[in-house]
Structure 1
Amino acid sequence: MTGQPLLRVADLVTEFRVHGGVVRAVNGVSFDIHAGETVGIVGESGSGKSVTVMSALGLLPSAGRVVAGHAHFAGRDLVAMRERELQKLRGKEIGLVFQDPMTALNPVMTVGSQVSEGLRQHNPGMGRRAAAEHAVELLAEVGIPDPKHRAKQYPHEFSGGMRQRAMIAIAMANRPRLIIADEPTTALDVTIQAQILDLLRRVQQETGAALMMITHDLGVIAEMTQRVIVMYAGRVVETAGVDAAFHDSRHPYTRALLQSLPKLYHRVGELPAIGGQPPNPQRLPDGCAFRPRCARSHGREACLTRPELVETGPEHRAACHFHDEAVEVDA
């Protein structure tokens, strides 16, 4: 894409202090997101997806810290910002939708007061009554039935789908420029999941925001995104337009993820799985981190050297020494 990106993450490195040493959970991650674009970040649990975003937004727990790199949002380096400056951005210019709304929402505050809290924090001139009325309007916008009554209820009185809708209402309250949805449908059944994805799509269209979807669900990636970033062991291993990623993937990890998807037009049988386990970040293998699980490696000496992201096609990059050996994926 052309033009200045809305969010540019460059060479980000994040470490955690743990018993017995230091874990590098994010290791040199770089990517761009442009205004109005929908980008998916995908990978197995522990690949560094959420930690990358939490690093950029200053939301790491006390044991974690960014040790290198930058995350520029609209030209401002988030990593260099103080907490007070970040608080002015989070909830106003950057909206967040977390995986588990039951833990993200405050259990002792009504849902309406939590929606109006963000409105008043970022709009000091807005009175309590005006914020409460706008909160009801926002709950109605995200499909909460009887919003005036529901605004007075607590999170435990909402279903899982309704709690997620409330989280989206909070995220969109100040019409942010970027919405980050971290596994927003993981705990929901397929019907509610479809409704939430439709809602996120509509909210993005109405606000004109860029949307970042963090997920392990390739179906969500295929349905929602224009571009996909694949992460493994704290690094970006492939980035491409969603069609290229699904039908002409260049990294064996991306191919393995796609091949593990069930297909409606194939006979039901045992799905192929990726052998082995993701590596322990304290003891990463030499060279390519995917090497021990990679069918393409076969003990090749080149795989003992860590591959860098290289251009493999238009707006398509992969970190594999043998990316030219990839063939079309049946997905």
Structure 2
Amino acid sequence: MTEPLLSIDEIVTEFRVEGGVVRAVNGVSLDVRPGETVGVVGESGSGKSVTMMSALGLLPGHGRVVAGHARFRGRDLVGLAERELERIRGREIGLVFQDPMTAFNPVMTVGEQIAEGLRRHQAGLSRRAAGARVVELLAEVGIPAPERRARQYPHEFSGGMRQRAMIAMAMANRPALIIADEPTTALDVTIQAQILDLLGRVQQETEAALIMITHDLGVIAEMTERVVVMYAGRVVETADVDTVFHEARHPYTRGLLRSLPRLDHRVAELPAIGGQPPNPQALPPGCSYRPRCPLNQGRDECLTRPELNPAGRGHRSACHFHAELAGLTGGVE
């Protein structure tokens, strides 16, 4: 098996907030190998995006990584000087943000911003050559009249076109890794499908690894090879995509799967996971999922935090009772 391109190892991230400290990421580990597509899934607030921002040194001022490592091509990004991180971001790691309207500078044209990334990471590239490459990139991601569009500002683009331009910027320097953070949020279904198809095509053409951060299991099923499920700042299950969808061994994963609409099964209403995600400032003792878990039933073991233990070949689950889920095809009642 090839060495990981990115290896996140026991990352712990805290934010200072009014009233104390919030531990948003609590010992997360995951690997991504060259050319691999990994999905990171979970409810809002589970720590998906913060994990990646921690690895890339993009946390806001009140956040900090207090433990762990994030090694990219063997080099630890945690604690790396900002100038060194800037050389890696955009050149070796491309980013597709959730909201391109806020990711783009509103007072620079889209073409200027893409060209800036090209010239920063490609020494000696002239303005003329960068401009020509921008037009090529916009055409490659399906933006019509790319020469005219390159001279426009982000607010003159539709939401779907802004996301296409963000993908063009991410792929501009042919990075080894692309991180897409909820890339289809707030887009209509037709545009979502186009953006996902574009990401898949870009990955195939550049041979980059792809991390897809999402709360949408449909996106996970369509796009990824391996899945990392997060809850309350921790990884609770990880396996290849077929195993997660057919042999999930954590009750939270099964709850997510039960809430998916299915064409072959008619129901009056979709089942939902009871309760709410825990307050990260006041996590329950032991298993964070315990208050919502149908397997809990007052068991003492649930008062001890479960580790991410083997549940099969290449399959790990952070549930004391994952063996009870073996062979079940439906959700946990």
Query: Shorter-chain TM-score: which interval?
Result: over 0.9
Alignment-derived partner of residue 329 in structure 1: 329
Using the alignment, how far apart are the partners of 1:329 and 1:43 within structure 2?
20
Alignment-derived partner of residue 281 in structure 1: 280
Contact 2:170 2:178 in 1 (8 A): yes
Using the alignment, how far apart are the partners of 1:80 and 1:60 within structure 2?
12
Using the alignment, how far apart are the partners of 1:328 and 1:213 within structure 2?
27
Alignment-derived partner of residue 181 in structure 1: 180
Alignment-derived partner of residue 96 in structure 2: 97
Using the alignment, how far apart are the partners of 1:178 and 1:214 within structure 2?
13
1:143 aligned onto 2:126: no
Using the alignment, how far apart are the partners of 1:154 and 1:138 within structure 2?
16
Residues 29-88 of structure 1: CA deviation (Å, up to 9, x unaligned): 001000000000000000000000000000000000000000000000000311000000
Alignment-derived partner of residue 269 in structure 1: 268
Alignment-derived partner of residue 201 in structure 1: 200
Contact 1:246 1:329 in 2 (8 A): no
Residues 231-268 of structure 1: CA deviation (Å, up to 9, x unaligned): 00000000000000010000000000000111112224
Using the alignment, how far apart are the partners of 1:238 and 1:132 within structure 2?
45
Residues 68-123 of structure 1: CA deviation (Å, up to 9, x unaligned): 00000000000031100000000000000001111111111111111111000101
Give the superposition deviation at 1:124. 2.2
Using the alignment, how far apart are the partners of 2:287 and 2:267 within structure 1?
33
The amino acid across from 2:236 in the alignment is V
Matching of residues 101-120 of structure 1 within 5 Å: 101-120=100-119
Alignment-derived partner of residue 250 in structure 2: 251
Give the superposition deviation at 1:145. 0.4
Alignment-derived partner of residue 36 in structure 1: 35
The amino acid across from 2:87 in the alignment is K
The alignment covers a number of residue pairs equal to 330
Using the alignment, how far apart are the partners of 2:234 and 2:131 within structure 1?
43
Contact 2:6 2:31 in 1 (8 A): yes
TM superposition score normalised by structure 2: 0.98
Matching of residues 289-304 of structure 1 within 5 Å: 289-304=288-303
Using the alignment, how far apart are the partners of 1:328 and 1:37 within structure 2?
28
Using the alignment, how far apart are the partners of 1:187 and 1:270 within structure 2?
24
Contact 1:39 1:213 in 2 (8 A): yes
Alignment-derived partner of residue 221 in structure 2: 222
The amino acid across from 1:272 in the alignment is P
Using the alignment, how far apart are the partners of 1:113 and 1:57 within structure 2?
24
Alignment-derived partner of residue 241 in structure 1: 240
SS for the counterpart of 1:205 is helix
SS for the counterpart of 1:265 is coil
Using the alignment, how far apart are the partners of 2:230 and 2:329 within structure 1?
19
Residues 143-191 of structure 1: CA deviation (Å, up to 9, x unaligned): 0001011111111111111000000000000000000000000111111
Using the alignment, how far apart are the partners of 1:233 and 1:100 within structure 2?
23
The amino acid across from 2:274 in the alignment is G
Contact 2:254 2:330 in 1 (8 A): no
Give the superposition deviation at 1:330. 4.3
Contact 1:5 1:32 in 2 (8 A): yes
SS for the counterpart of 1:29 is strand
Q: Where in structure 2 are there 5+ consecutive unaligned residues?
A: none
Alignment-derived partner of residue 62 in structure 1: 61
1:171 aligned onto 2:197: no
Using the alignment, how far apart are the partners of 2:268 and 2:182 within structure 1?
28
- Cα RMSD (Å) of the superposition? 0.9
Using the alignment, how far apart are the partners of 1:328 and 1:168 within structure 2?
39
TM superposition score normalised by structure 1: 0.98
Contact 1:240 1:316 in 2 (8 A): yes
Using the alignment, how far apart are the partners of 2:74 and 2:210 within structure 1?
18
Using the alignment, how far apart are the partners of 2:207 and 2:236 within structure 1?
29
